[in-house]
Amino acid sequence: MTPLFALLFDALDSRLGLRRPGRTVANKVFPHHWSFLLGEVALFSFVVLVATGTFLTFFYRPSTELVTYAGSSPLYRGVQLPEAFASVIRLSEEVPGGLMMRRIHRAASHLFIASTVLHMLRILLTGAFRKPREPNYHIGLLLLTLALAEGFVGYSLPYDSLAGTGIRIAYSELLSFPVIGDQLAFWVFGGEFPTGDLIPRFFVFHVMLIPGLIIALIGVHLALLVRQRHTQFPRRGIDGHRMVVGKPLWPAQFQESTTLILWIGGLLTASAVLIPWSDITLLGPYIPGEVGNNAQPDWFLFWVDGMLRILPPVEVDLPGVTISGPFIAGIVLPTLVFGALIAYPFLERKVYRLRGEWHVLSNPLEIPLRAAMSIGTFSFVLIVSAAATNDILSRLTGIPIEGLTRFFRLTAVFVPPLLAFLLYWYSKRRLARTGLRVASAEVDADTRLGAGSLRT
% helix / strand / coil in the chain, to the nearest 5? 65, 5, 30
Residues ≥6 apart with Cβ < 8 Å to 276 = 103
Between CA 371 and CA 389 the distance in angstroms is 28
Backbone angles phi, psi at 66, to 5 degrees: -75, 130
Domain annotation for the chain: domains and CATH numbers: 33-281 (1.20.810.10)
Can you give the pLDDT at residue 18? Answer: 73
Is the model more confident about 260 or about 446? Answer: 260
What band does 197 get if pLDDT is binned at 50, 70 and 90? confident
Beta-bridge partners for 29: 248
What mean pLDDT is predicted for residues 192-199? 82
CB atoms inside a 10 Å sphere around CB 220: 14
Can you give the pLDDT at residue 71? Answer: 84
Model confidence at 440: pLDDT above 50: no
Comparing 50-54, 247-251, 418-422, the range with the smallest average pLDDT is 247-251
Backbone angles phi, psi at 317, to 5 degrees: -90, 115
Between CA 301 and CA 385 the distance in angstroms is 8
- Tell me the pLDDT of the chain averaged across its residues: 87
What band does 293 get if pLDDT is binned at 50, 70 and 90? low
What band does 384 get if pLDDT is binned at 50, 70 and 90? very high
Can you give the pLDDT at residue 436? Answer: 62
**What are 413-435's pLDDT values in tens digits?**
999 999 999 999 999 998 888 76
What mean pLDDT is predicted for residues 80-106? 93
Residues ≥6 apart with Cβ < 8 Å to 250 = 26, 27
Can you give the pLDDT at residue 442? Answer: 34
Q: Collapsing DSSP states into helix, strand and coil, what is residue 97? A: coil
Beta-bridge partners for 80: 68
Can you give the pLDDT at residue 446? Answer: 39
pTM > 0.85? yes
What distances in angstroms separate CA 268 from CA 109, 216, 259, one per listed residue? 10, 25, 14
What DSSP string describes 218-284? HHHHHHHHHHSPPPB---TT--TTT---SEEIIIIIHHHHHHHHHHHHHHHHHHHHHS-TT--TTT-
Comparing 72-86, 230-244, 360-374, the range with the smallest average pLDDT is 230-244
